[in-house]
Amino acid sequence: MRIMIVEDEQRARRGLHNLITMISDRYEVVCVAQNGKQAMEMIQSVKPDVVFTDIRMPYMDGLSLIKAIQALDLQIEIVIISAYEEFETARQAISLGVREYLIKPVTVEEMEGGAEEA
């Protein structure tokens, strides 16, 4: 499974990358981006199966990224990993067809569940 990570904090990007690769050999992080804008620049060429994205990011936030990805109609599953447990954001995300909404910090069990779901 080809995975893209979109996260503005460097340590979090690295930690998430390590966590995903640690869970299973089936998961391959093919691309990491610092924000939604950067992710959109790469996604056409990378074409990941799953995008793990944060919500609050500079230039383009997570929800805008999700809308942009869906506009491309690339059949990409999206999992949100956010530090903010906000009802309205979660509602919008679910309405946009997001597969899973994980709250930071993410445990191994949660990541396994989220990846399996995707």
Q: Which residues contact 6 (CB under 8 A, 6 or more apart)?
A: 32, 33, 34, 35, 36, 38, 39, 51, 52, 53, 54, 57, 62, 65
Output the CA angle 53-59-6, nearest 5 degrees.
20
Comparing CB distances to other proteins, the nearer of 40 and 106 is: 106
8 to 37: interface string for other proteins, x by CB under 8 A: -x-xx-xxx-xx--x---------------
Going residue by residue from 65 to 104, which x/- string records binding to other proteins, judged by CB under 8 A? ------------------x-xxxx--------------xx
Q: Which of 42, 22, 23 is nearest to 32 (CA)?
A: 42
**What is the closest distance, in whole angstroms, from the C-beta atom of residue 85 to other proteins in the complex?**
6
Q: How many residues bind other proteins (CB under 8 A)?
A: 22
**Closest approach of other proteins to the CB of residue 86, in Å:** 6
Question: How is residue 117 written in tokens?
Answer: 């779901």
Bridge partners of residue 100, in order along the sequence? 79
Q: Rule CB under 8 A: which residues touch other proteins?
A: 9, 11-12, 14-16, 18-19, 22, 83, 85-88, 103-110
